[in-house]
Amino acid sequence: MRRIGIIGGMSWESTQLYYRLINERVRAVQGGLSSAPLLIHSVDFAPVAAMQAAGDWDGLTAMMVGAARDLKAAGAEALAIATNTMHKMADEVVATTGLPLIHIADVTAATIRAAGLSRVALLATRFTMEQDFYRARLSAGGLDILTPDEADRAEVHRIIYEELCRGEVKDSSRDSYKRIIAGLRTAGAQGVILGCTEITMLIGPPDTDLPLFDTTTIHAAAIADWAMG
């Protein structure tokens, strides 16, 4: 199998899900004691979140590029970024290392198209919902993207950083997300992208009858498949 370098820790709550999901898929396909040869560079999320809030994207780019270089030096043959928001630096990571990157938005868009859908809601951090680096990639993949209004975007973002990234899963927050999803359905959404790797901790199929596209699960499957060739 081929070795993949993962930039994780943003947050570690979702990185541990990646590790489990990747290895479960490898074992399911190859059987026995098979597992994926992974290199994980797990960052300290506290300064990352502070730089995000301050808009220090140059500092974050330098951090991501440094992590990618370390993974390449350790023997990674491809890279994956285990978070949606930090795909803002995906192009710089690829340009610096020359390694292929398994892009979370690309594999998510392909999965949605394969399901026959085109107009989908996006729940994610404010950065991912509002900036072009992610939405434009999904649009280039043939999707029409809906997002909540400003107040609901702020609430989705708050729950991610103040609760899910800290391992807190609250019924009241699940109810908020369900209300927001219902509103997006009324606006014409055919499905929902869980576009933050922690949202899968809170929302699942029992919470809506719309198809859910969990970026954590989709991305982990693509990483495992690349490793297995």
Residues with active-site annotation: 83, 196
Say if CB 155 and CB 179 are below 8 A apart: no
Element (H, E) at 191: strand 191-194
Q: Which long-range contacts (CB under 8 A, 24 or more apart) does 26-29 make?
A: 26/1, 26/224, 26/227, 26/228, 29/224, 29/228
CB contact set of 165 (below 8 Å; sequence gap of 6+): 11, 13, 45, 49, 198
Q: Distance (Å, rounded) from C-alpha 78 to C-alpha 98?
A: 9
Tokens (6 digits) for 37: 């040869």
The secondary element (H helix, E strand) that includes residue 212 is: strand 212-214
